[in-house]
Amino acid sequence: MTEPQIVWLRRDLRLADQPAFAAAAALGPVIPVYVLDDETPKHRRMGAASRWWLHHSLASLSADLAAQGSRLILRRGRAADVLNALAAETCASTVHALRHVEPWWRLAEKDLTNLLDLSLHDGLYLQPPGLLTTGGGTPYKIFTPFKNALFASIDQFDPLPVPELTSPANWPASDSLDSWQLLPTPPDWATGFGAVWTPGSATALARMAEFCDDLGPYRQDREQPSIDGTSRLSPHLHFGEVSPRQLWHSVDGMVGEGPSCFRAELAWRDYAAGLVQQFSDYGARSYRDGYDERLWRDPATDDHAATDLAAWQQGRTGYPIVDAGMRQLWKTGWMHNRVRMIAASFLVKHLLIDWRHGEEWFWDTLVDADYASNATNWQWVAGTGIDSNMFVRIMAPLSQSEKFNAGAYIRHFVPELAGLDDPYIHDPEHFGCRPPGYPKPLIGHREGRERALAAYRLFRG
């Protein structure tokens, strides 16, 4: 019988438009395997909310494979070792996988090439990270020229169909998904997730079709947290249940500011991957020198900073828009993009706490937690990144809340404020109508702003 081909799955949990599956299926029987790897050096352990998503996504992919007469094999351990052992068991010598940019996956890919024939394919992004270069031949560092080059580089194409899979003569053993205990043990903090999300390709494709059908109002609506104006496809995209090229294809040729704005958002995702490809520790330290050591209040040594960080995490800062966002995150594993920017800016500027504490919290609590997108956006907001706002640009949370009509959003996620109308809900302290159960602001807006600017002046010497 023809030699079986291993398909190693990571953040690419789909059958359609999945080049590793397509290539393997063309060569022989396919053994799809997901390795739960918390051991490859530099590995950043997947956060708790992502593990919830992963459980359901793997269950969904397993059902999709079963419908094809195939199976999903689950194994646990250091990926290179586990795949090497699986190849020996099944007499396979080739592993097909999609190329990833995270530093630990690049290490695992390198380890594996020393052991087996690793056939890497592109498919996580619109274009392979690093493919596009400036006129000088170097990778892009700035978003807008990158986006323009990306748009110009994409020709018309058809996404790959679901391949026909044949099975090996004998299936290797698999762990049971439940034995991995990816779901929370009681108390179950994820009860709200199931009400909002259904992981898996079928839901992702249905949402894509529904959302992309009318992108007319996207540009305006995406800024308003009170309405369902964005695709909410980010966790599906992160886990690869839908490919960015399938999304691009579904909006390709559409004219107007809605579709072009949507394509630009997809470009941000590629851009972030390109930065991590160039600077693998982008998620671990500030790109600009000196910030990590000198600017911040440190929760490890400063009790007030530690209390402020906990209040931010719990959505008890006394700033309604920030608290609504942080509670949406805790309850649903997701936060609206505009509110992510406001909440992140509040932590870094008003509370003067290192962006890496915020990035870590998001990593643990977001269902779409993504090393590249999370780091790039945190560094952008903090003003520490390569293509950033200046640190001295400080968002005003109260006026942002009013400008983007966040009243209904706040009433939904902060029940203590549900009785307040606009405009009082945006700033109950100022209007003298703060309910007794709702905290006083941790720091006044003007005071926070001045403290941040003073700290920055000191930092600049």
Ligand X SMILES: Cc1cc2nc3c(=O)[nH]c(=O)nc-3n(C[C@H](O)[C@H](O)[C@H](O)COP(=O)(O)OP(=O)(O)OC[C@H]3O[C@@H](n4cnc5c(N)ncnc54)[C@H](O)[C@@H]3O)c2cc1C
Q: How far is the CB of 88 from ligand X (least distance, A)?
A: 37
Residues numbered 379 to 408 that lie near ligand X (CB under 6 A) are: 381
Query: Which of 50, 335, 4, 409 has its CA nearest to residue 172?
Result: 4
Among 124, 251, 351, 366, binds ligand X (CB under 6 A): 366
Among 40, 231, 246, 401, the residue binding ligand X under the rule CB under 6 A is 231
Structure tokens that stand for 166 in this block: 């044949």
Helix (H) or strand (E) holding 380: helix 371-382
Contacts of 438 (CB under 8 A, 6+ apart): 318, 414, 416, 417, 428
Residue 7 sits in the site that holds ligand X (CB under 6 A): no
CB atoms within 10 A of CB 175: 14
Cis omega (within 30 of 0) for bond into 423: yes
- Residue 342 as a binder of ligand X (CB under 6 A): the answer is no
Q: Nearest approach, Cβ of 309 to ligand X (angstroms)? A: 15
Rule CB under 6 A: say whether 238 interacts with ligand X: yes
- Structure tokens, 279: 């600077």
DSSP 400-441: HHHHTT-HHHHHHH-GGGTTPPTTGGG-HHHHT---TTSPPP
The pairing of beta strand 117-121 with beta strand 94-98: parallel
Binding segment for ligand X (CB under 6 A), chosen from 143-151, 161-169, 294-302, 369-377, is 369-377
Q: Of 35-94, which residues contact ligand X (CB under 6 A)?
A: none
**Smallest distance, ligand X to C-beta of residue 121, A:** 20
Options 40, 201, 224, 234; binder of ligand X; rule CB under 6 A = 234
Closest contact distance (angstroms) between CB of 446 and ligand X is: 24
Instruction: Determine the angle formed by the axes of helices 320-332 and 337-345, rounding to 10 degrees.
Output: 120
Taking the least distance from each CB to ligand X, the nearer of 62 and 243 is 243
Q: Residue from 174, 278, 337, 388 that binds ligand X (CB under 6 A)? A: 337
Q: Is 233 in the site for ligand X (CB under 6 A)?
A: yes
- How many C-beta atoms surround the C-beta of residue 376 within 10 A? 27
CB of 261 to ligand X, least distance (A): 8
Question: Cα dist. 385→241, 359, 372, 375, 378 in Å?
Answer: 29, 13, 12, 9, 8
- Contacts (CB under 6 A) with ligand X, residues 256-275: 265-266, 268-269, 272
Candidates 11, 96, 222, 263; binder of ligand X (CB under 6 A) is 222
Please report whether residue 230 would count as binding ligand X according to CB under 6 A.
yes
Residue nearer to ligand X on the CB measure, 7 or 233 = 233
Q: Applying CB under 6 A, what is the total number of residues that bind ligand X?
A: 27
> For ligand X, which stretch binds (CB under 6 A), given 97-105, 302-310, 370-378, 431-439?
370-378
- 8 A C-beta contact, residue 273 and residue 372: yes
Q: What is the DSSP letter of 139?
A: B
Shortest distance, position 310 Cβ to ligand X, whole Å: 19
Residue 5 gets which letter from DSSP?
E
Two structure tokens written together for 207? 């949402």
Q: Using the rule CB under 6 A, is 204 a contact of ligand X?
A: no
> How near is the Cβ of 265 to ligand X at its closest, in Å?
4
Task: Return residues touching ligand X (CB under 6 A).
Answer: 222, 230-234, 237-238, 265-266, 268-269, 272, 337, 340-341, 344, 362, 366, 368-370, 373-374, 377-378, 381
